[in-house]
Amino acid sequence: MWIEEFGPVFIQEPDDVIFPLDSDEKKVVMHCEARGNPPPTYSWYINGTEVDAEADYRYSFIDGNLIITNASEVTDYGKYQCKAENSFGTVLSRDGTLQFAYLGAFSGKARGGVSVREGQGVVLMCTPPPHSPEIIYSWVFNEFPSFVAEDSRRFISQDTGNLYISKVQPSDVGSYICLVKNTVTNARVLSPPTPLTLKTDGVMGEYEPKIEVHFPTSVLAAKGVTVRLECFALGNPVPTITWRKINGNIPKKARLRKSQAVLEIPNIQLEDSGTYECKAENPRGGTAFKGHLQVYTLPQWVRMINDTQMDSGEKLQWECKATGRPRPTYRWLRNGLPLTSQADSGMYQCVAENKYGAVYSNAELKILASAPVFIPNPIRVIATLGKDVSLECKPRASPKPRIAWKRGDRRIQPNKRYSSALETFIFISPSTDEGNYVCRAENQLGSAELTAILSFVLPEAMRVELTPARVEVTVGESVVLSCKATHDTSLDVAFQWFFNQKPINFQQDGGHFEYIQTVRVRVRSSTVDLMIRSILLKHAGKYGCRAQTSADTVFTEAELLVRGPPGPPGVVIVEEITDTTATLSWTRGLDNHSPISTYNVQARSPFSLGWQTVKTDPVTGDMESAIAVELNPWVEYEFRVVATNAIGTGDPSAPSRAVRTKEAVPSVAPANVSGGNGRRHELVISWEPVSEEFQNGEGFGYIVAFRANGTRGWKEKMVTSADSTTYKYRDETFPPLTPFEVKVGVYNNKGDGPFSSVVVIHSAEGEPREAPSDVRAYSISSSEIRVTWKPPNPEPGRPRGYEVLQILCLCVTVKNETSMVLTGLEGNSLYRITVKAFNSIGHGPATAAVTAKTRKTPPAQPPANLIWIQEGNNVSLSWDPVKAKDNESDVIGYMVLLKQEGRGHNQVTRTINPSTVLSLPEGGTYIIEVRALSEGGDGAVSSQIRLVTSSGTHKATDF
């Protein structure tokens, strides 16, 4: 069987890849696959340079794919392009970018503290480590996992990672740690802590806003992405952020996040371009920032080039056209190289590109050039007596040949009985016209002749029967149509199947249609079948069978009806909208030969996970309207309708236009009301904020109500920010750990909503009132003193740690440890030490001072005159004793250190005598050092002995 040969056509081209550097796989695969006959071969280019797999073992090819082992960002980052080629030509793929995902570590260098006045604004720098691609920033307050909550006063920029506090409060004092997370690998790292303290020289007065965070003056964004514009200001009082679009309206789809510090525009389109302004205001004044948003698009094809065959010498005109912003430019390639003016056979590519990307349109051009050839030759034509007959002359040839007919030696000229066209000779057929006819075809490459042998018969008329003539089936079933032709036995019959008057392409539709060759041949009849498998709705229609002999052609049709799920209903219209209902109407879709039984109404909003069924009264198949109920107020909805019949559920209608339900009083109270901690005389109340889905209208906020246990009447405070999660009440008249009944309610412009259930929350504890007890201090070396104590009575303030004070330093414990080793002290010195407890509220009283004296310093004289004798694997070692001076600690023994070069193993031997025996493993080079030991610590180290395993007696020498 002859199989068409053709040039390469891409099935899969390289995609953009982000590869994690810490992946266990350690291999990157860039995909490329093309079909072609002969099968294509492949090569790859990295940043325009061809990959040489033989020169670099890290590269290998599997089929068309490029495999990179031990990929490195330094050598492998960039753009990859695949080239596929066979004997018909070469094509280049689109570019695929390989990036690497990684997250480095923060510098371990300690960060300096930041000290500001109360009421002043502050910026804490994150300074993230090297990373790729994007990272997400958050901040830890004091200890993990206590995260900084963002509100109108605090903001974390996802551009820089910096933490901004517009107005510092005493509760902000503490330690801040920047946490970054890689969006691809999910790896997380923590920065060193940045301490934030308050100055004691007064409180910062009110001042006008200063915008510290803003988006660039020119923002470029790709069509379809989500754009996030940041704007945050420092100021006292805390500034309010507002947004507007100059000479236009902010898109309805836009959302304000993080107390309006972020304007988020999803699925950005060209019409969203423009100048956006954020404004920060407080009672002291205001300031604004403007930036221009420009949307770009990658090139997209409007008109592409197609495979073309041409005769040699003909003129070719190809046109390709693409849209894009900026407007694309074009270039042409032939077999992967820039096009010259000459057009020859090969693979052609039109490349449309702008600075954001490129698209490729591919086509094969075949230039035909051949002398005429007739297949088959000769041909026999049996015609019906009395009917017109045509003889065809269609050679394979390029360019097109000149055609001439003759009978015998006489050239046939057109007349009333004969007419000739380029490829066909037609004449009226008396029996005397039987005989041999010769067609001669000739072009500049050669010539050929075809002999047509014509004879006439007087056959019976052919009859064709197609069964069944009408059939009903259900989607998914199969059916066989049978076409039977009764004809003259001397004639061959050819069949062709049609669907809605068009010939069936069995190669293209082979998944559903199968042409079954003649299955029954009897005298004077032939039968062929059409099998239609796994029927779809689109297969409904009229099927025709055409039977043809040289004498006759007969066509007949049968009808196929397909029952299936309903088609999509027509346009959904929102007739009326209230706070919780929507009245909808639609038009009926196709029932597909099975009556519609019910309709189902679905809705989606910015808060739903896709489309969800909404509650309605039952909607039967004869209805075209419904009322959706139990919707949430002040939420934007889209609606669609789905029809169902006995066969199944059909495709949904197109969505309705987006509509917003009316406002209503809030109906959902905050959840998880809790609190506690805080500073002295503070009642801290926190809650889980109510989702925007349940805020039910504009002007949403919280009502915080509280009262001391056993008292009457509630204090109520308004919290106007919908994103708020905390309220702090300060009153110096109530004692620490006072129990309060607390509830949190909601409100909006329509009125007050429900309160949460009442919970009991204690006010902040006080500072420790008592000093630790049983303080003891004793020396453990010439530079260290250990201090121990017992904790004080925890009421009313529970200690979070302790401060140990001596003349040289203020040392702080972590958590509730009750011991500490003071280091870096001077030898043979007396120290006075006090201890006091502290918590987040303040410090308790100090203990009475205790004293401790450090021990004398260790001997400064190192062991000297080292002598060693080696016998096999044993080394006998001796040295002169070390004598301590009067101001040094007495020698209590010696420490011998044996190290083997090239290995991390060390062997330590302690002895009270100035000699010892060491055991050496077989082979190796060894280093020996000796120190004196004393109560004051380790003495000075001796000179080193370096030896290779061998026997003999040597005196130690310096090394």
pLDDT of 688-732, one tens digit each?
999 999 999 999 999 999 999 988 899 999 998 898 999 999 888
pLDDT at residue 521, rounded to an integer = 47
List the end-to-end C-alpha distance of the chain, in Å, as a whole number: 87
d(CA 238, CA 121): 9
Please give the share of the chain, as a percent, with pLDDT higher than 70.
93
Averaged pLDDT for residues 796-807? 76
Query: Class of 6-102 per CATH?
Result: mainly beta
As a CATH number, domain 304-368 is 2.60.40.10
Assign domain 773-853 to its CATH architecture.
Answer: Sandwich (2.60)
pLDDT tens-digit readout, 35-88: 999 999 999 999 999 999 888 889 999 999 999 998 888 889 999 999 999 999
519 pLDDT band, cuts 50/70/90, is: very low
> What is residue 373's three-state secondary structure?
strand
Find all residues with CB under 8 Å of 916, minimum gap 6, and list them: 877, 894, 896, 909
Find out whether the peptide bond into 128 is cis, omega within 30 degrees of 0. no
pLDDT at 431 over 60: no
* Sequence-ordered list of residues with C-beta below 8 angstroms from that of 250, at least 6 positions apart, any chain: 243, 244, 263, 276
* pLDDT tops 70 at residue 927: yes
pLDDT in tens, 443-457: 888 999 888 888 776
Return the CATH fold of 370-457. Answer: Immunoglobulin-like (2.60.40)
Of residues 166 and 843, more confidence is placed in 166
Range(s) for CATH 2.60.40.10 in the chain? 6-102, 106-205, 207-297, 304-368, 370-457, 462-563, 573-661, 671-760, 773-853
The DSSP element (H or E) to which 930 belongs, if any, is strand 925-934
Q: Is the pLDDT of residue 304 over 50?
A: yes
User: Is the model more confident about 633 or about 415?
Assistant: 633
Res 351: pLDDT: 96
Assign a CATH topology to domain 671-760.
Answer: Immunoglobulin-like (2.60.40)
Beta bridge partners of 787: 777, 820
pLDDT band for position 427 (cuts 50, 70, 90): low
What was the pLDDT predicted at 549? 81
pLDDT at 130 over 50: yes
Q: How confident is the model at residue 4 (pLDDT cuts 50, 70, 90)?
A: confident
Question: CA–CA separation, 405 vs 449, rounded Å?
Answer: 10
pLDDT value of residue 458:
65
Q: Which residues pair with 165 in a beta bridge?
A: 122, 154
Helix (H) or strand (E) holding 74: helix 73-76
Q: CA-CA-CA-CA torsion for 389, 390, 391, 395, nearest 10 degrees?
A: -160
Q: Which of 23-27, 641-645, 786-790, 930-934 has the highest mean pLDDT?
A: 641-645
Whether residue 5 is predicted with pLDDT greater than 90 in this model: the reply is: no
Question: Of the candidates 731, 823, 725, 841, which has an alpha carbon nearest to the alpha carbon of residue 781?
Answer: 823
| Parallel/antiparallel/unpaired status of strands 541-548 and 494-499 | antiparallel
Percentage of residues of the chain with pLDDT beyond 90: 53
The fold adopted by the segment(s) 106-205 is Immunoglobulin-like (2.60.40)
Q: What is the mean pLDDT of residues 244-271?
A: 92
For 573-661, CATH gives 2.60.40.10
Say whether pLDDT at 777 is over 80.
Answer: yes
Q: Which of these ranges, 475-489, 748-762, 895-909, has the smallest mean pLDDT?
A: 895-909
What average pLDDT score do residues 290-305 get?
94
In this prediction, residue 956 carries a pLDDT of: 39
What is the CATH number that goes with domain 462-563?
A: 2.60.40.10
CATH class (in words) of the domain with range 207-297: mainly beta
| pLDDT at 13 > cutoff 50 | yes
Residue 418 pLDDT class (50, 70, 90 cuts): low
